[in-house]
A and B are shown apart, each in its own frame.
Chain A
Amino acid sequence: AQSVTQLGSHVSVSEGALVLLRCNYSSSVPPYLFWYVQYPNQGLQLLLKYTTGATLVKGINGFEAEFKKSETSFHLTKPSAHMSDAAEYFCAVSEGSGTYKYIFGTGTRLKVLA
């Protein structure tokens, strides 16, 4: 069975500071990993994904994440936070083959302080 744990339901950073949102996963098979963002009253949008190949993946809006198999982690980072980054972020896992089930973490709400 797959699962995702996001550490910290709320994270606050100052504008211009580093953003780090943590995600650990559990999967019995090679995983596909994702970060999604949700703005108020909207559905989720894909930020970035890891399937195979390079373990450092870059996404939209300057975000990136690194797949670390030994640590079963897929943390999301951005060097410099912008006010528009304030949103809720979800980490998700899916099996690399077979089922298309996507399992989401409980989310981390990012607040950016001026």
Chain B
Amino acid sequence: DAGVIQSPRHEVTEMGQEVTLRCKPISGHDYLFWYRQTMMRGLELLIYFNNNVPIDDSGMPEDRFSAKMPNASFSTLKIQPSEPRDSAVYFCAIDGRQGIRTGELFFGEGSRLTVL
């Protein structure tokens, strides 16, 4: 779905390196979510933003994780330093249009991260 573009699609890095995942949603949506998907834990909500402001980051696993949304068309999820247990697929998703929730999350295709 062209509504949410994530990059990179695949990243392989070594433990200790910094990783930055990017999300470019189409404009006009009020809410942006970052999820992490693993076989063991399924889909976990990491953080979500409303109008570029972080609302709930209780799902962010540790201080090594940080997320920003400088404007309505761009968000980043950063891991520093990365660890092997961070290996997962990270999804960005959007919802809400002009203050009205649609109940339909539009997902990007995900960024598959492998930390060696």
A and B pair up:
yes
A→B interface (CB under 8 Å): 32, 34, 36, 41-46, 49, 51, 90, 94, 99-107
**Distance A105 CA – B44 CA, assembled complex (angstroms):** 9
CB < 8 Å neighbour of A101 from B48, B91, B103, B104? B48
Given known contacts A41-B109, A43-B1, A51-B103, A100 and B42 CB-to-CB distance under 8 angstroms:
no
Inter-chain CA distance A45–B107, complex, in Å, is 7
Q: What is the CB-to-nearest-CB distance from B30 to chain A, in angstroms, rounded to a whole number?
A: 8
B109-A106 in contact (CB<8A):
no
Q: How far is the CB of A25 from chain B (nearest CB, A)?
A: 15
Q: Tell whether, in the assembled complex, residue A101 and residue B56 are in contact, meaning their CB atoms are under 8 Å apart.
A: yes
B105 and A46 contact, CB distance less than 8 A: yes
Looking at the assembled complex, report how far the CB atom of B87 sits from the nearest CB atom of chain A, in whole angstroms. 16
Binary per-residue interface labels of chain B (92-111) against chain A in the complex, 1 for a CB within 8 Å, 0 otherwise: 01011000010111011110
Known: A43-B4, A100-B95, A103-B45. A34 touches B107 (CB 8 A): no
Q: Is the interface of A mostly helix, strand, loop or mixed?
A: strand
Q: Mark B25-57, 1 if CB is under 8 A from A, else 0.
A: 000000101010000001101001010000110
Contact with A along B54-85 (1 / 0, CB 8 A): 01100000000000000000000000000000
A44 touches B105 (CB 8 A): yes
User: Could you say which residues of chain B place their CB within 8 Å of the CB of A100?
Assistant: 31, 48, 50, 55, 95-96, 101
* Contact, CB under 8 Å: A32 / B103: yes
Contact of B43 among A42, A90, A94 (CB under 8 A): A90
When C-beta atoms are compared, the residue in chain B nearest to A49 turns out to be B103
In the complex, what residues of A have CB within 8 A of residue B43's CB?
44, 90, 104, 107
Complex Cα distance, B53 from A101, in Å, reads 15
Q: In the complex, A90→B110 CA distance in Å? A: 16
A55 to B95 alpha-carbon distance, docked (Å): 23
Enumerate the 5 nearest inter-chain pairs by beta-carbon distance, A residue then B residue, closest first. A43-B107, A106-B42, A104-B43, A46-B104, A44-B107
